[in-house]
A and B are shown apart, each in its own frame.
Chain A
Amino acid sequence: MTAIEPVDLTGLDNPLTVGLERLPVHPTSLVIFGATGDLAHRKLLPALYNLAHEGQLPERFEMIGVGRRDKEHSEFRDMLTDSVRRYSRRRPDERVLGGLIDDTRYVQGSFDDDSVYEELGRTLAEFDERAGRTLNRVFYLSTAPDYFPLISAKLGAAGLNEVDGAQTRIVIEKPFGYDLASARRLNAQVLEVFDEPQVYRIDHYLGKETVQNLMALRFANALFEPVWNRNYIDQVQIVAAEDIGIGSRAGYYDHAGALRDLVQNHMLQLLALLAMEPPTAFNAEKLRDEKLKVLEAIVPPSPDEVAQMAVRAQYGPGVVGGERVCGYLEEDGVPSDSRTETYAALRLHVSNWRWAGVPFYLRTGKRLPRKLTEIAVILKPVPHVAFQGHGSVGIQANQLVFTLQPDEGVAVSIGAKLPGTRMQIRPVNLEFRYGTSFLSESPEAYERLILDAMLGDATLFTRNDEIEALWGIVDPILEAWDADRSTPIPQYESGGAGPAESDALVDGGRIWRRL
């Protein structure tokens, strides 16, 4: 007979969760504002299906779509079914899909209409009553950003920002603000209604496996940390290149531009994760504290400095994939005198002990030669080379490259001897690719993030002070660019490597990595 230690169940720790890969998610009602929009159609609804398929939704899960389009409940369910069939990463099991959509509700109305929130309150109460308990509530704002403060305020006015006996959370899509002032305003408006721990600001890049692997690689291996500083690292290049143009997004894009679209959020988040100190624990507050320290250590440029550390440009006509394409100013919906940048490159410095003097180069653009998101950490060259001058490519500085897309993985370039009788060196790669090392399908970032929001884990979401720090870095650049209405915006050829002007940013004999 085995004597087993009695388990204390008077506390709140659940002994049944030990060792489980999937942690319990408490019963939840999810309300999606903008449920008939593109993001919901392509990402959110398929992500919810995949969570259901894998048995990761809570034991009681209810969903309400809120949208301005006139739809019956049944039409919304049909739309949900269509979204899952078209965009799910796996073929749906019809019985699970049926179970998911079975009692999904749709509330139609304008987001400023009080009756929408009254109807929402009634439906949520009905779900609670049916469950015999108050369900947690997650409000997912997948609408145009102009509606964020309005919806937040209306939820508060309707008393839906909190509920006795359960948790209420609000998930806010990007972009969070248009500049520092609007981000501060939006933070203040949201935080008038919700407490900060209730607010989940999404940056879906943080839900990507490779981004999370940045932390695993840095903090689960002894190999990298000793060289992770200004003594060994010469520069860091972060690139987010796209080979496509703006497509049908002129309305959004011409208002935003490359700096707001990618740099202010995704790319600076990558920089923060790369440069932060090891957190003492992997939880929301500790991790975000460390990221914030990095962001606050990036000194924003003065207006006079912007031209030396930032370059903007627009794509002109060119050839992509063998086909002639038009320039940005000829795209449908783009004003012919638009000064919106489709390319942005920055040189930033993290002014702290670890990174002083190491330039961080960020580059993003549309209609570049190929789609690529990567972080390259380029080390300093070795101090002395005994076997130079033997006619080989020679020794090059080691590079550690994290690729986020298209082939998620990590590569380390090292110098190796060419086979032969002489000591000739060329760089070769040690590579780790997700596809070859795990043979498993990564979940979509939205699956992870929706689940985390329901779990109440904000680790991969952006805190209010982080958002303001992110805007604080790009705001002076935006202001300087907005103020300059006369200098021509450099043009770069579609399908080319970007504007020549950006070459001047990479100083000290450095060059951009080839895309």
Chain B
Amino acid sequence: MRDMLRARHAANERLAPARVLNLVVIVDREWKGEIANRLERAGRYHGSRTILCAVQEGRTTLDAIATVSYDNPEDKLGVMWEKVEIDLGPEHLPALQTIIDPIVVSGLPTVLWSPHRHDDAIRALLPLIDVILLDSDDLPSAADAFERVFSVRDHAYVIDLAWLRTTPWRERLAASFDLPSRLAALGHVEELDIRHRDGSSASALLLAGWLASRLGWEARPLELHQGDRREGNVSNGADEVRILMRESHQEAPGLAGVMVSCRPELSLSLERGWGGLDATEKLGDGTVSRWKILGASRGEGGILGDGIRQALLREPTYWPALNAARELCNV
């Protein structure tokens, strides 16, 4: 790798290696192409050195290929980034750190993403990594997904893609209730109705957990019904807040809509729409207003890219939200 970088730099001295983070990705070999595409769609937020381990059932040998890519703008510094693809078998996973450790760039944060589980590989790499990318929407049970987060929290900083799917919703709810005329209503929320895609209940629970933790609600387990529908009441200290979560048909993972109703006369709903969120405000006097909140969909690639970028940041509200979400799903 060093020789390749030196050779590139010698051929064009305006090329310099990117040094942001190591990204270690563990995938099933048959899905390698799909994961590579997803990484491609992450845009500029990617590892400066990506190490992709493709696990193939029955394989006993190791094969690897290293490549250096670069952009070469005419009048600016060109940036090089490196990719190492390793084909390996399940028997290599318990000692995977001995393969990965010599390859990572030392002194940079190392991020692990293992979208197809491979828990033994994760266990092996925990001492080596700084950040782990998980997706709590990946597991059939949100409760299990939240437990998985807890199981690694002492070893690495956790970035949960299910949490990042709620980012625009959190930002928009925060903005909507930032107006002085609405801010006081946050203390009088009486119902929270969240709709999500099939399989994205963790995102919904995290959004509810975020509101609960930010607004001081005492979270209690919600009843789980057929079709991943959850409902129940939590306390805001003075009154009960009804929480309802249900599935909604949509293609993209994540949330489909959120409605917050406040006593005595405000309800605000945000719905996923084309080119942004469709907002509807209903007041007690019957006034209804609708508008569009602009914003392009990030897509799953963009969410992954955001996850990689978050590896360089620290988010103070995730853990309180997760704690509340665990209460809501009775963990």
- B-side contacts of A14, CB under 8 Å: 174, 177-178, 183, 186
Is A332 positioned at the interface, with any CB of B under 8 Å from its CB?
A: no
* Most interface-central of A54, A55, A93, A433 (chain B CB within 10 A): A55
- B-side contacts of A389, CB under 8 Å: none
Is A106 positioned at the interface, with any CB of B under 8 Å from its CB?
A: no
Given A16-B174, A20-B174, A99-B292, do A433 and B16 touch, yes or no (CB 8 Å)? Answer: yes
Per-residue contact bits, chain B 307-331, to A (CB 8 Å; 1 contact, 0 not): 0010011011100100110010000
Is B140 positioned at the interface, with any CB of A under 8 Å from its CB?
A: no
A436 to B17, CA, bound (A): 6
- B-side contacts of A439, CB under 8 Å: 18, 20, 44-46, 48, 79, 81
* Most interface-central of A15, A61, A407, A441 (chain B CB within 10 A): A15
Given A436-B77, A439-B48, do A6 and B237 touch, yes or no (CB 8 Å)? Answer: yes
Is A327 positioned at the interface, with any CB of B under 8 Å from its CB?
A: no
A387 to B241, CA, bound (A): 77
- A-side contacts of B175, CB under 8 Å: 24-25, 58-59
A431 to B16, CA, bound (A): 10
Q: Which residue of B lies closest to A130 (CB)?
A: B289
A20 to B318, CA, bound (A): 11
**Residue pair B186, A59 in contact (C-beta under 8 Å):** no
Is A52 positioned at the interface, with any CB of B under 8 Å from its CB?
A: yes
Is B276 positioned at the interface, with any CB of A under 8 Å from its CB?
A: yes
Given A26-B179, A437-B19, do A55 and B44 touch, yes or no (CB 8 Å)? Answer: no
- B-side contacts of A371, CB under 8 Å: 75
Q: Which residue of B lies closest to A58 (CB)?
A: B175
Given A4-B324, A9-B183, A131-B289, do A24 and B178 touch, yes or no (CB 8 Å)? Answer: yes
* Residue of B168, B274, B315 touching A95 (CB-CB under 8 A): B274
Is A383 positioned at the interface, with any CB of B under 8 Å from its CB?
A: no
Is B89 positioned at the interface, with any CB of A under 8 Å from its CB?
A: no
Interface residues of A in 13-32 (CB under 8 A from B): 14-22, 24-27
Interface residues of B in 40-74 (CB under 8 A from A): 44-46, 48
A248 to B212, CA, bound (A): 59
Is A1 positioned at the interface, with any CB of B under 8 Å from its CB?
A: yes
Interface residues of B in 274-310 (CB under 8 A from A): 274-276, 279, 281, 287, 289, 291-297, 309
**Residue pair A57, B294 in contact (C-beta under 8 Å):** yes
Per-residue contact bits, chain B 144-186, to A (CB 8 Å; 1 contact, 0 not): 0000000000000000000000001011111111111101101
A234 to B179, CA, bound (A): 52
Shortest CB-to-CB span from A102 to chain B, Å, is 8
Q: Which residue of B lies closest to A95 (CB)?
A: B275
Per-residue contact bits, chain A 369-391, to B (CB 8 Å; 1 contact, 0 not): 00100000000000000000000
* Most interface-central of B186, B212, B293, B327 (chain A CB within 10 A): B293
Chain B, interface SS category: mixed
Is A53 positioned at the interface, with any CB of B under 8 Å from its CB?
A: yes
- A-side contacts of B44, CB under 8 Å: 439-441
* Residue of A9, A19, A93, A433 touching B186 (CB-CB under 8 A): A9
**Residue pair A17, B178 in contact (C-beta under 8 Å):** yes
A14 to B216, CA, bound (A): 13
Shortest CB-to-CB span from B199 to chain A, Å, is 24
- B-side contacts of A61, CB under 8 Å: 294
**Residue pair B218, A1 in contact (C-beta under 8 Å):** yes
Interface size of B by CB at 8 A reads 67
Q: Which residue of B lies closest to A25 (CB)?
A: B175
Is B2 positioned at the interface, with any CB of A under 8 Å from its CB?
A: no
Is A96 positioned at the interface, with any CB of B under 8 Å from its CB?
A: yes
* Residue of B19, B274, B295 touching A52 (CB-CB under 8 A): B295
* Residue of B171, B179, B183, B309 touching A133 (CB-CB under 8 A): B179
**Residue pair B294, A96 in contact (C-beta under 8 Å):** yes
Shortest CB-to-CB span from B115 to chain A, Å, is 21
Q: Which residue of B lies closest to A432 (CB)?
A: B19
Interface residues of A in 393-441 (CB under 8 A from B): 406-407, 409, 431, 433, 435-441
**Residue pair A435, B79 in contact (C-beta under 8 Å):** yes
- A-side contacts of B312, CB under 8 Å: 438
**Residue pair B186, A436 in contact (C-beta under 8 Å):** no
* Residue of B178, B219, B291, B316 touching A60 (CB-CB under 8 A): B291
Shortest CB-to-CB span from B196 to chain A, Å, is 19
- A-side contacts of B180, CB under 8 Å: 12
Interface residues of A in 129-174 (CB under 8 A from B): 130-133
Is A336 positioned at the interface, with any CB of B under 8 Å from its CB?
A: no
* Residue of A5, A54, A59 touching B293 (CB-CB under 8 A): A59
Q: Which residue of B lies closest to A53 (CB)?
A: B296
**Residue pair B179, A55 in contact (C-beta under 8 Å):** no
Interface residues of A in 431-480 (CB under 8 A from B): 431, 433, 435-441
- B-side contacts of A27, CB under 8 Å: 179
Q: Which residue of B lies closest to A55 (CB)?
A: B295
- A-side contacts of B219, CB under 8 Å: 1-2, 4
Shortest CB-to-CB span from A97 to chain B, Å, is 8
**Residue pair A1, B46 in contact (C-beta under 8 Å):** no
- B-side contacts of A17, CB under 8 Å: 174, 178
Per-residue contact bits, chain B 239-280, to A (CB 8 Å; 1 contact, 0 not): 000000000000000000000000000000000001110010
- B-side contacts of A486, CB under 8 Å: none
Q: Which residue of B lies closest to A93 (CB)?
A: B296
Is A236 positioned at the interface, with any CB of B under 8 Å from its CB?
A: no
| A and B contact pairs by CB, cutoff 8 A, 13 listed | A2-B219, A2-B327, A3-B218, A4-B212, A4-B219, A6-B216, A9-B186, A9-B187, A24-B171, A26-B178, A26-B179, A55-B171, A436-B20
Not counting A4-B218, A407-B76, A439-B20, a sample of 14 additional A-B residue pairs whose C-beta atoms are within 8 angstroms of each other reads: A1-B218, A1-B220, A2-B219, A4-B213, A7-B216, A14-B178, A18-B317, A20-B171, A55-B276, A58-B175, A131-B291, A133-B179, A437-B19, A439-B48
